[in-house]
Structure 1
């Protein structure tokens, strides 16, 4: 897949190892190892494009003022090839050879977990937007800060929504049967843990609990069991590939499931790829363009979505939005720190309390964003509509899924 650079002066490197990077004295250099090849290519591009768009907007607005001096932002990229060991190696290179003092995160929890020990060792702050695993925030790390909600929250609203609508399924809440299919990676396993915890509150029954391989190309075994056991709800988490595989094979195998809930629907473009087969799917999302969030840089969430689509030719998935917000967090911290000393910037990051088009951002002592809730889409008439939480809902969820 081709890689498009959108900002003059932003250097992209994939498999080619570039020489040490020279930057202007009037530039703040950020480093990022991002997946531009390998299994995370699609989401890696969403991540990079979010970063690039925020840098472009900040620079066009005059850059970042640190003390009495204004700086432009610039990003040094390497392709981590969707491989944790490669990501760690490139993080080391960015810090040790390219002189990067401020890191942006990669895509995925596994890649972030590989890079975080490197940034911690060198005391280099990392603002990351795509590592949601709660295990990232139980190590006592002091230099990692995440704009997104953590993984155990991803599908809590889907479980609660089914509980609220159990009578429409002809069941009492405790009679609801759930099938689980989760990729065996840190992110998806944390989503699973959160789902199990939420199901336990309602007394729901687990009838399938399948652990799926990381190259998630085939769910036939799980779906065959679902046909036999007839769960009321099927929950799948396996990044973009898992979402696409689930929609495709549920349609091909004609599996009738009253409620289907997934992660990574928009990143996998399930509407564009599968059309009617994606209808009525519930989709976890960190962000939606219809949410009532705004800031002075992008304006509203809807304005960000419009600018992103004009720039890249498609509607922004939440991975792009949370990545853009990560750059905004850095800009805010640089200005409040009044210094480019990494420790001063780290302390300013820890004190972050800001509103963005992506939502509120405030970090706890572990670096998690504790201010922003998750949301839940449903695919209705070929569009994503927010159906939970109720405070942000555009419309009522359709439960159960009509026979298709």
Structure 2
């Protein structure tokens, strides 16, 4: 409570009440551009930059009767919660942004969302799937599905695809994303296969590198599948250790597996595995295929989900701004109006799929099951609807 009061006092003194002069629309992007999850942040930045160049190349963003150049200001949060908060404050109070895209990881998006809510600044996370990111925060939105849905999707997939009657889960208890997704998977699996059908529910701490004891218990449990709701840079080591301890059965993951880090470090060990995602570049059609082709032409590589959701989150923010009659000279009023426009977006055709937004900030959206094929590509295998 004391922190909240301090934020409100700070807010009343340092937030300017007028939009900066000039024909620019300035959006902040709060992403991990260095650090352990750099690859995900760079991908989101590349997706957003592709959109910005397209809009500016077409004459700018139309708001009312005027057109505005779109400007992005980047803040590197290094995927650190404290730095994500500092980046949020800097974007709001120093750069006077109309809204913020990011952070990606839930452990960063949850505290950053608290700041955005206190400062009444709209925020759209491209990939934060933890429910706490948006709970009780009308100014905070996401461009992705939520972990309860993702956990249910992967539990269903384990049962239908592999006839699994028993499952094991290994997760980092100190990180919001894997902890939440692990719990949602367990709840969904046991709702279908009965109490205690998750026969091993093993947790570790972020700095724990040797997982031998956990994996030995998992191998001995008789589980049919292993669910690893960890980030991509952590997966290669875990899989290598799991196989060394005798695990030979299917391994499944969540959307945080999707990163160029995964195959660069995992190689053949990850081929044939499955994870849930928001987007599949291989086998794409329609607007998604167009995005894939444009992205590949610009960056000489296929986009991953973080790129598509970076594009879509920025597009949602700019779509909402484009629905304004004009930019009010009062910055607080403009931010509030943008928030209302985001919440009202329906039938948004993004490159990662169609979504309907709502006041809760949580869109209704499909999930894609990705198979890592023999070429090491992330191939769309199956689509699951809400």
Q: What's the TM-score, normalizing by structure 1?
A: 0.81
Of 93, 96, 99, the residue aligned with 1:99 is 96
Q: Which moved more, 1:86-95 or 1:265-274?
A: 265-274
**Structure 1: where are the runs of 5+ without partners?**
1-21, 168-172, 295-299, 392-404
1:106-125 correspondence runs (5 A): 106-125=103-122
Deviation at 1:329, TM superposition (A): 0.8
Contact kept in structure 2, 1:260 and 1:281, CA below 8 Å: yes
Structure 1 position 23, deviation (Å): 7.6
Alpha-carbon separation, structure 2, partners of 1:339 and 1:216: 52
Q: SS state of the match for residue 127, structure 1?
A: strand
Q: Higher helix proportion, which one?
A: 2
Name the residue aligned to 2:132: 135
- Write the deviation string for residues 322-373 of structure 1: whole angstroms up to 9, x where unpaired: 1100111122111212233212211111101111221112222210111x11
Aligned pairs for 1:376-391 (under 5 A) are 376-382=369-375, 383-389=377-383
Secondary structure in 1 matching 2:138: coil
Q: Aligned equivalents of 1:313 and 1:222: distance in 2?
A: 40
Q: Give the one of 133, 144, 162 matched to 1:148.
A: 144
Alpha carbons of 1:308 and 1:247: their partners in 2 closer, same or farther (altered >3 Å)?
farther
Q: Which residue of 2 aligns with 1:81?
A: 78
Hey, what's the Cα distance between the residues in 2 that align with 1:310 and 1:367? 33
Name segments (4+ residues, structure 1) moved above 6 Å: none
SS in 2 for 1:188: helix
- The 3 A distance-change label for structure 1 pair 326 and 229 is same
Matched residue, 1:235: 227
Which residue is equivalent to 1:72?
69
The answer as to 2:314 corresponding to 1:318 is: no
Pick aligned residue for 1:27 from 20, 24, 29: 24
Instruction: Find the aligned partners of 1:270 and 1:99 in 2 and give their Cα distance.
Output: 36
Task: Normalising by structure 2, report the TM-score.
Answer: 0.85
Residue aligning to 1:157: 153
Identify if the C-alpha distance between structure 1 residues 276 and 335 changes in structure 2 by more than 3 Å, giving closer, same or farther: same
Distance 1:385 1:89, change over 3 A: closer
Give the secondary structure class of the aligned counterpart of 2:257: coil
TM-superposed deviation, 1:119: 1.2
CA offsets per residue over residues 92-138 of structure 1, 9 Å max, x none?
12211222221111120111111112111121111221211011232
Equivalent pairs counted in the alignment come to 355
CA RMSD of aligned residues (A): 2.3
2:253 pairs with 1:257: no
Q: Which residue, out of 169, 185, 188, partners 1:180? A: 169
Deviating more after overlay: 32-41 vs 314-323? 32-41
Q: CA deviation at 1:315?
A: 1.9
Q: Is the 8 A contact 1:216 1:241 kept in 2?
A: no
**Contact preservation (8 Å) 1:33, 1:105:** yes
Cα pair distance change 1:319/1:122, threshold 3 Å: same
Q: Secondary structure at 2:340's aligned position in 1?
A: helix
Q: Which runs of 5+ in 2 are unaligned?
A: 1-18, 328-333
